[in-house]
Amino acid sequence: MNHLVYEYFIWSVGIGMTVVSLLLLREIRALKLGRTVQHMIWEQTGAWEGEGASAAFICLFLNMGPNNSEIVLALKKKYADRPLTVILNAPAWQANVLRKKINGQAIILSDETGKMGRHWGHLRNPIYIIIDQYGKIVKKDLVIH
């Protein structure tokens, strides 16, 4: 009986360690991705030295679609206090069209290859992440529209 309890204990420790490693790996991945996205956006928006560099912000990954402006405005309304950056998986001219539609409510960047968005899997719905000032992804959610 004692032998059995000991074996269960060893297995439970093993499983616990694997779960902790998995969670750590996820955290590292989130930090790496968050920092990469943060740096790219800072580079593009010139926020290295300005106020933008010290603030947490929201990053929305959008594909081409008819409701994009509604999605951006709804998200901006939900998080009115945070700057919003939209990474649009579309050519630059499409980004310009969206920029005009939303009337300066968010920064729109064009990612024509869609590489950035695909880091969260091949998603059909838009995903948004909230990145804190240290580059850590503190929230991740889908916009189901």
55 binding another protein? (CB under 8 A): no
**Between 81 and 121, CB nearer to another protein:** 121
Taking CB under 8 A as the rule, does residue 124 contact another protein?
yes
120 is a site residue for another protein (CB under 8 A): yes
Residue 141 engages another protein in binding (rule: CB under 8 A): yes
Q: Which is nearer to another protein, 3 or 77 (CB)?
A: 3
Residue 12 binds another protein, judged by CB under 8 A: yes
* Alpha carbons 82 and 76: distance in angstroms, whole number: 8
Residue 21 contacts another protein per CB under 8 A:
yes
- What is d(CA 137, CA 145) in angstroms, rounded to the nearest whole number? 23
